[in-house]
Amino acid sequence: MLAHLGKMINAAPVFPIVNDGSSPMMPIHAGDVAAGVAAALERPASAGKSYDLVGPDRMTLRDVVKRTSVALGRPVWIVPTPVSLMRLPVRIMEATMKQPLSTRAQLAMVAEGLPGDPGPARAELGIEAAPFTPENLQTMVRGIPKEVSAPVALGLTAAAVALLTVAFRGPLGAWKGMTVAMGILLAASLAVRAVRTRLAPTLPRVALGLVAGAVLYGLTRVALVVLDAAWPGWIAQARTVGAWKEGHSTGFLLTTLVMIVVAEETLWRGVVSRFMVERLGRVFGIVAGAALYAAAHVGTMSPLLGVAAFACGIFWGILADASDDLTAPIVSHLAWDIMIMFVVPVV
């Protein structure tokens, strides 16, 4: 419960609470639940009995959210939301996320509340559950291990900047150089467990990626209309980038493009953005990850490509974080690249 609640609080300063948040709750630490089960198994007199394994504090769902936000140091604006409006988003999360922020069963539970009587478990099993206080919650939060370490994330970022700078300015040419560089970075990224556990393609995730790719392409077209009026020079830079394809067959370009896209998403969203989100929270973490992604394109000497990388990095970062998987951003990235490079080129 704490992990999912923490993810939702970190996601945005607005927290949609079920109905008015008055559902009665008595949260208990998993360790206290385990102790209660062990005590019941060791006590023959407990056979055939049932116990409410709940915490000592009876509070509302709103109180639970407030105390958790205090423990995380992230104030939130709690917005009452009818449970009927939450059912569809929850179904979508179940279909697209490996670890959805909420399930239909959890939604029903928090809507109805989960009170109980801790007295029998305390008297017969000796369970003294820890109170649900910000101080206790801070201890739990500190004990949650980070999935991506600083040496791994920062080391791969530095390696990416160096390799891509050489690739863009080196003797192989931009496309072949990028293919070699991203092949090396893909192998390194796949060595990170947090990346491998987030490569679980499903049809809903692929569909989400295709829809997201179409949306991003539409947004790109709108942005180009604005650029035409504000900065006509963007066309020359776009043509320079488009020239990277010259001298290569379409088959070679498409084959290597798939590898390049997978490498970029596993590195920048699977490692770097994940690392930043774990340290800075979702909003600032995704923005920081996108900024580093854009900085890695410094070797192209193209402000247009840097701005595009930053904007798209935010889009794909949100997609990766929301789905808790890399399938949708990979598909979205690939679909977008194919559209702007081959199907309906921007220049």
* 39 close to 123: Cβ distance less than 8 angstroms: no
Question: Vertex 95, ends 91 and 98: CA angle to 5°?
Answer: 120
Rg of the chain (C-alpha set): 25
Three-state secondary structure call for residue 105: helix
| CB under 8 A, 24+ apart: contacts of 175-180 | 175/244, 175/245, 175/248, 175/253, 175/256, 178/244, 178/260, 179/256, 179/259, 179/260
Are 157 and 42 part of one and the same domain? no
Are 212 and 326 part of one and the same domain? yes
Are 82 and 130 part of one and the same domain? yes
Q: What CATH code is carried by the domain that includes residue 93?
A: 3.40.50.720
pLDDT at residue 105 greater than cutoff 70: yes
pLDDT at residue 224 greater than cutoff 70: yes
Q: pLDDT tens digits, residue range 273-322?
A: 999 998 888 889 999 999 999 999 988 888 999 999 999 999 999 999 98
Are 72 and 202 part of one and the same domain? no
**What's the domain count of the chain?**
2
Are 136 and 157 part of one and the same domain? no
The residue out of 111, 142, 173 marking a domain boundary is: 142
The residue out of 142, 161, 176 marking a domain boundary is: 142
Q: What is the pTM of this model?
A: 0.75
What residue numbers bound the domain in which 119 lies? 2-142
Label residue 144 by pLDDT band (50, 70, 90): low
Are 74 and 166 part of one and the same domain? no
Spatial separation of the C-alpha atoms in residues 197 and 214, rounded to whole Å? 26
Are 99 and 180 part of one and the same domain? no
Are 53 and 160 part of one and the same domain? no
Are 121 and 182 part of one and the same domain? no
The residue out of 121, 142, 163 marking a domain boundary is: 142
pLDDT of residue 68: 86
Q: 16 vs 43, 73, 252, 280, CA distance in Å?
A: 43, 18, 48, 21
Are 183 and 295 part of one and the same domain? yes
Are 101 and 188 part of one and the same domain? no
State how beta strands 24-25 and 59-60 pair: antiparallel
pLDDT at residue 338 greater than cutoff 60: yes
Label residue 69 by pLDDT band (50, 70, 90): confident
Q: Which stretch, 132-136, 159-163, 234-238, has highest mean pLDDT? A: 159-163
User: HSE (CB half, 13 Å, CA atoms) of 40?
Assistant: 18
Q: What is the overall mean pLDDT for the chain?
A: 90
pLDDT at residue 234 greater than cutoff 80: yes
Are 41 and 90 part of one and the same domain? yes
Place of tokens 């904007």: 311
